[in-house]
Amino acid sequence: MQKWFQKKTIFPILEIIINIRCSFSIISSTTNNYIFASIHHIPIEMKVPNKKEYDFIIIGSGFGGSVSALRLVEKGYKVLMLEKGSWWNNGDFPKTNWNLRKWLWIPSLRFFGFFKITFVRHVGILSGVGVGGGSLVYANTLPRPKDIFFNSGSWAGIQDWKNNLEPHYQTAEKMLGANINPQLFDADNVLSQVAASNNRKGYFDPTNVAVYFGEPEISVPDPYFNGLGPDREGCRFCGACMTGCPHNAKSSLDKNYLFLAQNKGVEIIDKAKATSVQQLKNGDGTKYYEVTFTNSFALISGKKQKVRSTGIIFSGGVLGTVRLLLNMKKKQLTKLSNKVGDEIRTNNESLISVVSKNKDYEFSQGVAIGSIYASDENSHLEPVRYGVGSNFWKLMGVPLTYGDNFFVRAGKLLIHLITSPLSWLRIYFTKNFSQRSIILLFMQHLDSTVKFKRGIFGLSSKLSHGPAPSAFMPEAKDLAEKVADIVDGKPMVLATEALTGIPTTAHILGGSVIGKSIESGVIDLDQKVFGYDNMYVCDGSAISANPGVNPALTITAMTELAMSKIPMKENGN
């Protein structure tokens, strides 16, 4: 009864509420051109010949796609990258997340931002869209997972993952410009107090982040790649990392891998959504891949364009890659493993905001995630911040409410709001929400998985193994309440979590996992797709265990390892 009620009633209502709120913001926002141009991209309107051929076509421009592009072009291959989002320059980003046209990706409402919110039965998913993928919207944080990650999941025992990946972790850290955060601010200091109160002060550390910490407001020649990269400017600690760094300090992929790859000849088409991949034969019997794509910004389905290649790399993340593979499995790519869509992990995450009544705090100051605390052997906690004025999330917040089913939670929520209405109204109407709030990101190594499959309206999910992902983790609740006590605040969760009981994750992983054979995985130890030649998956969907920390560095290192196995092209230069 509860599952039926959630699926048939709550999810549609939530979608309606979100769309109404987003639509209402259009009325009050200034009219602007939402299709952004850049001298760095090939316009989608360009006529790509139906038989134009490449050595590799990369679908998606996130961490896996960007690494693949650079390493392949360095080996002499002709490479094309397709990205359904657009290019973003420093001046294009919204000043706050109230500018929903520029922030959110909801094409049906003509919102072409870089931040996407997706709901399926078992989880709400936050992801990035645009040239640079998740790097545009992520919190710059580059931790390494603990040893358990390398020895669990479908890839366990296939090879010595930790040692084989070690040199590639080092390369990834260098390429992404990793630095230890040099300054801690109010939110970090609060987390340090929590660690000390739990007698775990030694488990609190500043984060390793992809940020250039030079002189603020001073532009300098490329400090990372011997002058071959773009000019950079020092971090101002404004907290706006996740709404797009406006100051050229964040080391998103367009500042490193993609920048270098394009200068070496990689072609990038933005606003291009891949809709089909199929393997065909030439007259002489040799095989090639044909990729069909359309204009993702078109009001109605645009003209289909086709390109060919001898190799394919899927790098669209779980929502892009898994969706496309599931769509192709029935007719175009029939030899794909039956494991496609299986073993998807939420990184066992919980997101809880704590809003302080104390006006002396300034929680928006710093990098997006400036510190990390290992609360036990399986768990991590990070304080997340948005810049001044980015207060959109308060519309989605409700009092922290736990309960076994919807009716219990709804009742508790109603009691919260009735017994202290003024204190909650102050939160919803405050203009300084981002400055008074800490978003606590709680992550665990503990494992549970779901399976994605094709549904009537897109992806749907069902439980695979382990307990169902839950928005309610007692450890996360206890930590949030400790933070609330320290800052004299109130803990909040997303309304979607309180009403449905499903968690929200910014790190959806798996669905195209590594296995010993086609029966246990979609790809092999070199991330090659079982059943197909010269086809790879290099993105978060290839993550084959639960890292329990932010996964960007691991995706980058795994792709570096996979690309190192591809030989130089003969007569490629």
Catalytic site residues?
507
Torsion angle of C-alpha atoms 24, 27, 28, 34, degrees rounded to 10: 100
The answer to whether the CB of 66 falls within 8 A of the CB of 133 is yes
The residue with tokens 């931790």 is 143
The token pair that represents 542 in the structure block: 């290839």
Q: Which of 44, 51, 42 is nearest to 307 (CA)?
A: 51
The answer to whether the CB of 138 falls within 8 A of the CB of 550 is yes
Exposed, middle or buried by CB within 10 Å (0-12, 13-18, 19+), for 487? Answer: buried
DSSP for 499-515, please give it: HH---EES--EESS-B-
**AA letter at 194:** V
The answer to whether the CB of 564 falls within 8 A of the CB of 70 is no
Residue 491 CA to residue 415 CA, distance in Å, equals: 15
**CB within 8 Å of 136: residues ≥ 6 apart:** 88, 114, 128, 130, 244, 252
Q: Which of 286, 345, 351, 291 is nearest to 315 (CA)?
A: 291
Q: Which of 180, 75, 88, 182 is nearest to 130 (CA)?
A: 88
Q: Which of 253, 316, 257 is nearest to 74 (CA)?
A: 257
- For residue 54, what is the enclosing H or E element? strand 53-59
